[in-house]
A and B are shown apart, each in its own frame.
Chain A
């Protein structure tokens, strides 16, 4: 039957696609059979049913909807930067069907009604699954624990004071103990603020040359070391956000070998850009942790290849154009990343032969979902029909003004990338189609 993009029925087929499952990309074409938002059948070859409308995938890659475990949607409080609706649209455009939101909104997500509010907003928008994390401490002030039990019951999938490192060691210990009881991770934004000082970029050659205050690697490594040891002592699950240094990779590698319950993520920008990008003082390259050196890029890449780092997360951090017009030392930290994540990683990891596409997809789907125990990130019979179609050969140039995100602060503007998301489906429904 005829396929109509405008009227996608409740039951249909996606035919002639290369399925990406369990870390492997099939060489032979296969199909999906979607019924009421679920995958009722999938497999190699041609679909057996001829009475259903069929989308001809034309040999595109069909992968599980991507899962991003680190995004900032800014709602409530900073809707000028992003909202759950615009963030979800950006996620869909990037091939994502599930995201984990960080709690540093204004006010922060530190009680159950806030979690329910976010889930309601996500439901209304309906473009992406949203799994909120909640703050470790009330008001993210680093003093009193939030109501962990109540928050988890409301739907929080983990705890973090992302953006505001937990300097108080005992508080972090208590958080890991409490979270362990509830079966959720504690995520650390690893930064010793006393070592970080007023730093605004990686401490090294370029910070020295530019006269900008440096953020030493040690500010990250020292904190990761402390938190890994706390995880070892408490048995809690520590998730290390946005790993950026060789030292941190080594600490995590050793801890995992010794059986400590630690997982970790790395961002596309820490896999692909280094501190020399700051040479023209552009705040589009200002983020925390900062862009490091080639040696660190090699280490985090190797960590991702080895599985020491579980997954890729964008740390999608929208800021308005006006904020990114400020001087480098005064502009806020962070870059948007949802819409470029897959293409950047495909360009820098797959095209260079470090990972194959199946391995990359695994690190952006099932392995990402596993860090927070999320029920998504796979293509399986009886499962949810969350998937994307991807053209690994299409070349395109990043044009910030075309991003769906409310903010355009991408560090990849003007860069040519290879690989493009052609369509994204959530529960069988189209959430994004390239060019629309």
Chain B
């Protein structure tokens, strides 16, 4: 099967089968990274606009690389120099971009709902690269891909997400995706960062970090969004590190095979100690590599690519037919 929607707004809207389709395609694209030439002509002649209204470094680079490896033409739209700064509405800006005949827009915006809105008003495909605290679906997918590479089927596996759940789009996308694949999700953080209603999304809430990690197969450690918070939401970095920082000591309370993920960029020695960040239990750079593959898969599938043609890996010839 392929994807039902022309857009990827969130993992909430995807079915379990669609998630698996994307992940299988991502595994196929992942194989070309080990070749001397890491490029396929699948998206030749198609134009993708990276529309980043909120600043981002790594997500944008990851999307750009994915687009380049698919041979797409790319335009980068920088919010700081854009007409949005001059008072133009999001709709006007987006419709102007679309009028220049493009095929796909990757959007990052500080407002929840921005990607869904563009998906409704534009004919082009829209990929959500993060909309406020709502969703960041490609991050959720790359996290799940990384977990599956280590654990195989996630049915019954235990994933603990640690940090600022309230402000985290990564947490929401992880929760939707993981619960659809049968994983058991626990969220952990100070009560000021864990909204009361989060348990209604089908997760367990635990405020004691050591208890939260005890049975976990994976820890997904979120970035403390220092820039998003009013000063009052927690007492400060030092105390956060003492109570919720993932350190070697915390890892001693986990199962030996439990590994550590982080979506980046890290606040070292706040949510994660440098020892753990550089240690043997982390898979952070694997996540980064998988991110490019996941984004290639999403772009490929949304532009009408047939997942069956990727079966044995991707041939340098492109769509698999030549």
Contacts and interface: CB of A to CB of B under 8 A. Distances in A.
Are the chains A and B members of one assembly?
yes
B230 A211 contact: no
B197 A281 contact: no
Given A211-B112, A281-B116, 9 more contacts: A208-B196, A208-B200, A209-B12, A212-B133, A212-B134, A280-B116, A325-B89, A327-B90, A327-B109
B204 to A, nearest CB: 15
Contacts of B113: 210, 212, 280-281, 327-328
Interface in B87-128: 89-91, 109-114, 116-117
Contacts of A326: 89-90
Interface of A: 197-198, 203-205, 207-212, 214, 280-281, 322, 325-330
A211 B172 contact: yes
Interface of B: 12, 89-91, 109-114, 116-117, 131-135, 166, 169, 172, 195-198, 200-201, 230
Contacts of A214: 195
Contacts of B131: 211
Given A326-B89, A327-B109, A204 B117 contact: no
A360 to B, nearest CB: 34
Contacts of B112: 210-212, 281, 327-329
A188 B100 CA distance: 51
A280 B166 CA distance: 19
B128 to A, nearest CB: 12
Nearest to A283: B113
Contact of A209 (B89, B90, B117, B201): B201
Contact of B111 (A205, A322, A330): A330
B14 to A, nearest CB: 15
Given A325-B89, A326-B89, A329-B132, A208 B201 contact: yes
A205 B200 CA distance: 7
B202 to A, nearest CB: 11
Contacts of A198: 230
B195 to A, nearest CB: 4
A208 B117 contact: no
Contact of A211 (B90, B91, B132, B196): B132
Contacts of A210: 112-113, 134
A212 B134 CA distance: 7
A296 to B, nearest CB: 15
Given A210-B134, A212-B112, A327 B195 contact: no
B318 to A, nearest CB: 37
A324 B169 CA distance: 24
Contact of A197 (B12, B169, B198, B230): B230
Nearest to B121: A325
Given A209-B201, A211-B134, A281-B116, A328 B195 contact: no
A198 B229 CA distance: 11
Contacts of B201: 208-209
A327 B112 CA distance: 8
Contacts of A212: 112-113, 132-134
A281 B117 contact: yes
25 contacts: A197-B230, A204-B197, A205-B197, A207-B195, A207-B197, A208-B196, A208-B200, A210-B113, A211-B112, A211-B131, A211-B132, A211-B169, A212-B133, A212-B134, A281-B112, A281-B113, A281-B116, A281-B117, A327-B90, A327-B111, A327-B114, A328-B112, A329-B110, A329-B112, A330-B111
With most chain A CB atoms within 10 A of its CB, the pick from B113, B134, B169, B195 is: B113
Nearest to A200: B112
Contacts of A211: 112, 131-135, 169, 172
Contacts of B135: 211
Nearest to A327: B111
With most chain A CB atoms within 10 A of its CB, the pick from B91, B131, B195 is: B195
Contacts of B200: 205, 208
Nearest to A326: B89
B91 A208 contact: no
A206 B200 CA distance: 10
Given A205-B200, A211-B133, A328 B89 contact: no
Contacts of B166: 208
A214 B111 CA distance: 14
A429 to B, nearest CB: 42
Nearest to A280: B116
Contacts of B133: 211-212
Contact of B91 (A209, A325, A329, A330): A325
Given A281-B116, A327-B117, A329-B132, A208 B111 contact: no
A329 B89 contact: no
Contacts of B116: 280-281
Contacts of B230: 197-198
A383 to B, nearest CB: 49
Contacts of B195: 203, 207-208, 214
Contacts of B134: 210-212
A5 B296 CA distance: 68
Contacts of A322: 89
Nearest to B131: A211
Contacts of A197: 230
A370 B195 CA distance: 42
Nearest to B114: A327
A329 B228 CA distance: 14
Contacts of A208: 166, 195-198, 200-201
A203 B166 CA distance: 12
Contacts of B114: 327
A281 B133 CA distance: 13
